[in-house]
Amino acid sequence: METRKSNFLSENDKSTYWNTGFLFPLNIFPKSETARMRSRLENLEKKWINNGLPLPLNTYKRVNSHLVCRLAYEIASNHKILNKVEGILGPDILLWSVEFFIKEPMTKQIVGMHQDLTYWGMGEIDNLVTAWVALSPATKNSGCMSFVNGSHKNPILPHTDTQNKYNVLSRSQEVDVQVKDIDKTSIVLETGQMSLHHGLMVHGSGPNSSSDRRIGVAIRYLNPKAKQLVAKRDYAMVVKGADRVGNFINVSPPTRDFTADSLAVYDEVRIAQAEALTAGATSEVNLYGEV
C-alpha cells in the first residue's frame, strides 16, 4: 500500500478504512522528530522508575498515560494525527486513552487476537478509532500488529479470558474463533508512521524477536456521540472541536509529568473505568499494572 503525505485523509483513504477496518501506513512524524519523542520517553522511564509514584510506572505507561504524562498528551493532541482522525470521526474529537505499548527485545510477550470494544463498555460503535504510532520500527520480527480484513463488520464476538502468561492484555483475552494466518494482514510501520483501526477490528501481535524495543503509542479517539453503557461514568479530553453532547466528563491535560492533581484525576478515572473493564470477569483482572 502506498504511503500518504497529505494532511487529511483522501476519499480513497476513507473508503479503504470503512471497507477493510484499517488504514496504513500513514506518514506522520519525520524520523528526527520521532527519535526525540523516543528519547523523551526513555528519559522519563529512567527518571520515574524509582521515584516514589503511587503505582508502578508501567501502569501509568499502559493505562491512560495522557492524564499524567505530558509527552503522551502532546503526541495524542498533535494536529498531524488529529487531521487524519477527523476523516473518520468528524471535526469534534475526544481523547479517551493513550498507552505506550512496549515490547522489550527478545521477549515472548504477545497480544492475543481480540476486538478492542469487547470490554470498554461502549457497545458496537463506529464512533471510536485507534491510532497506533510507531516510535521504533514495527516489523514482523519485532511483533507488529496483524489485522483481519473486514472483521470490523462483525458484532462483538465471544472472547475467552485465557491464562496465557505471555498475553499482555488485561484479561489475557482472545477472540473465541479460529483466525487463520492467511486471513491476517501484517501492519508493518516505519518509525514515525501510523495506522488507524476500527474498534471492532480483530487484531493481535506476536513476540519481539528483534534486538530493539518495539515502541508504539496506542491512542483511542471518540466522536462525542459515543457513550459509556456499563460503567456509571467515564472521562475524556477534548482535543479537537468541541464536546456538544456531554456523555463524558471532560478532563484537562497535565501541565507537567505526574503532578499531584493529575495523579488524583488518574485514580478517579481508573477506578471508574475499571467497572467496565472488569465486568463479567471470573478471575482477577490485572489492568496492566504488573506487566
Asked if the model's pLDDT at residue 229 lies above 90, the reply is yes
- Residue 66: its pLDDT value, please? 98
Residue that wins the pLDDT comparison between 176 and 145: 145
Asked if the model's pLDDT at residue 58 lies above 60, the reply is yes
Name the average pLDDT for the chain: 91
Question: What are the pLDDT digits (tens) for 94-108?
Answer: 999 999 999 999 998
For the chain, helix (H) and strand (E) counts, in that order, are 6, 13
Residue 262 — left, alpha, or beta (φ > 0 → left; ψ -120 to 50 → alpha)?
Answer: alpha
Domain range annotation of the chain: 11-277
Percent of the chain with pLDDT over 70: 88
Asked if the model's pLDDT at residue 1 lies above 60, the reply is no
Q: pTM (2 decimals)?
A: 0.92
- Residue 172: its pLDDT value, please? 55
Domain boundaries 11-277, corresponding CATH code: 2.60.120.620
Question: What are the pLDDT digits (tens) for 245-260?
Answer: 999 999 999 999 999 9
When pLDDT is averaged across residues 207-215 and rounded to a whole number, the result is 97
Backbone dihedral angles phi then psi of residue 202, each to the nearest 5 degrees: -80, 120
Of 130, 119, 106, which is closest to residue 157 (Cα–Cα)? 119
Residues in the chain: 291
When pLDDT is averaged across residues 139-166 and rounded to a whole number, the result is 86
Q: Are 264 and 65 in contact (CB under 8 A)?
A: no
